[in-house]
């Protein structure tokens, strides 16, 4: 059946401007990291993307190495884009990244001009697109001069292969230097993509949001649900199909008694607000207007809908914020 998007898709979603740019992103963006690789039902992937667009989610976040195996998420999304969303390309923001290992030899990872340009060319073929909207350097490279890496980002914009550029996993100090180089080149930094959640607050200690505000860039956080810890997934134990059992990014030691005590206490706060723990965590991560968007994953349409519903109750009182801090930080 031909897909026809919901007519009211832009009426309920909240959109935030990315720094001082002209681009606005949905407060909730869909990331295709874990759930769009091979072995995942194609129709489920298709249903998730279509429902996201119906809900006003216009931004889809990828990377060259998303899958598994690497590259398969881009291939899957490219197929969905071609079959269902081709006529709506100008309503959609597609982002991808390069920097982690993708192929053998000296050019398969990090931040050389060779790696970044080659990787983006591969991504465009998998996505079946002429350009992406945002192209990120995925992680700082300790060995390649920053001027080369940022110069490569500038070059892909000038070549028409990307509209904007971003960085991910950079410290505030590295971000300041990168933004200055890009500004001199004439391709301003659009976005920084850091990890951030109630339980992971490094960007606050590093004052990253202040740095980005000074540079005129936005912030879009990944893992706002702390790899699923800030959901009801582990409130009753560890399911066999959970990331603790199936992923290298979360292990059983992360679910120690102290952490689970915090999670249960946060869940109590969420219940008093009439929200799920995940909805509370998302509302909390969006409390600062300088946070442009949050990237969430979804393994089902129902999970996607529940997470987007966090925007129905975005406000947190000073008392609630203080209680969350006391709970999460052991104040």
Q: How many Cβ atoms sit within 10 Å of the Cβ of residue 268? A: 12
**How confident is the model over 227-252, as a mean pLDDT?**
70
pLDDT band at 257 (very low <50, low <70, confident <90, very high): confident
Q: What is the mean pLDDT of residues 113-131?
A: 98
pLDDT value at 11 more than 80: yes
- The residue among 177, 192, 168 whose CA lies nearest residue 64 is 168
Q: Is 262 among the domain residues?
A: no
Taking 70 as the threshold, does the pLDDT of residue 331 lie above it? no
Domain assignment present for residue 130? The answer is: yes
Q: pTM of the full predicted structure? A: 0.94
Answer whether residue 245 shows pLDDT above 50: no
Average pLDDT in the 148-172 region?
98
291 is a domain residue: yes
Domain that holds residue 217: 15-228+285-314
Residue 273 within any structural domain of the chain: no
For residue range 99-114, what is the model confidence (pLDDT) as tens digits? 999 999 999 999 999 9
Cβ contacts of 141 within 8 Å, gap of 6 or more: 99, 110, 111, 112, 149
What CATH number corresponds to the domain at position 145? 3.20.20.100
Q: Is residue 114, in this structure, part of any structural domain at all? A: yes
What's the half-sphere exposure (Cβ side, CA atoms, 13 Å) at 211? 22
State what percent of residues in the chain have pLDDT above 70: 94
Please name every residue paired with 165 in a beta bridge, in sequence order, or none if there are none.
135, 189
- Give the Cα separation of 179 and 278 in Å (integer): 33
Report which of 305, 310, 294 is spatially closest to residue 51, judged by C-alpha positions: 305
Average pLDDT of the residues in 304-317: 97
pLDDT (average), residues 37-45: 93
Q: Is residue 72 domain-resident?
A: yes
**Model pLDDT, residue 34:** 84
pLDDT digits (tens, 9 = 90+) for 171-208: 999 999 999 999 999 999 999 999 999 999 999 999 99
Residue 175: per-residue pLDDT: 98
Residue 8 lies in a domain: no
User: Pairing state of beta strands 24-26 and 15-17?
Assistant: antiparallel
- pLDDT of residue 255 exceeding 90, the answer is no
Domains identified in the chain, total number: 1
Q: What integer is the mean pLDDT of 48-59?
A: 98
What is the average pLDDT score of the chain?
94
Specify if 88 maps to a domain.
Answer: yes
Decide: 160 and 133 in contact? Cβ < 8 Å: no
């Amino acid at each position: 059946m031909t897909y026809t998007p919901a007519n009211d898709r832009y009426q309920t979603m909240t959109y935030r401007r990315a720094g001082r740019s002209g681009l606005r992103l949905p407060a909730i963006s869909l990331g295709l990291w874990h759930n769009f690789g091979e072995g995942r039902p194609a129709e489920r992937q298709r249903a998730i993307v279509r429902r996201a667009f119906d809900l006003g989610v216009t931004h889809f976040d990828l990377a060259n190495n998303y899958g598994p195996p690497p590259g398969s998420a881009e291939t899957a999304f490219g197929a969905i884009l071609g079959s269902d969303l081709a006529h709506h390309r100008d309503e959609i923001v597609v982002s991808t990244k390069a920097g982690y290992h993708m192929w053998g030899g000296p050019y398969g990872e990090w931040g050389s001009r060779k790696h970044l340009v080659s990787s983006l060319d591969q991504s465009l073929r998998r996505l079946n697109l002429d350009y992406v909207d945002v192209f990120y350097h995925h992680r700082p490279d300790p060995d390649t001069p920053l001027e080369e890496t940022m110069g490569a980002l500038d070059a892909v914009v000038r070549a028409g292969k990307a509209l904007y550029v971003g960085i991910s996993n950079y410290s505030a100090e590295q971000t300041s230097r990168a933004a200055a180089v890009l500004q001199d080149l004439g391709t301003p930094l659009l976005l920084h993509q850091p990890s951030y959640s109630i339980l992971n607050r490094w960007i606050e200690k590093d004052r990253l949001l202040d740095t980005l505000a000074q540079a005129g860039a936005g912030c879009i956080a990944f893992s706002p649900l702390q790899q699923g810890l800030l959901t009801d997934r582990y409130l009753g134990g560890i399911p066999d199909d959970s990331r603790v059992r199936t992923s290298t990014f979360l292990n059983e030691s992360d679910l120690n008694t102290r952490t689970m005590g915090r999670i249960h206490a946060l869940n109590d706060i969420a219940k008093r607000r009439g929200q799920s723990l995940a909805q509370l965590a998302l509302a909390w991560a969006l409390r600062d207007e300088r946070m442009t968007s949050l990237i969430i994953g979804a393994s089902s349409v129902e999970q996607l809908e529940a997470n987007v519903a966090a925007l129905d109750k975005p406000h947190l009182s000073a008392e609630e914020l203080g209680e969350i801090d006391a709970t999460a930080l052991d104040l």
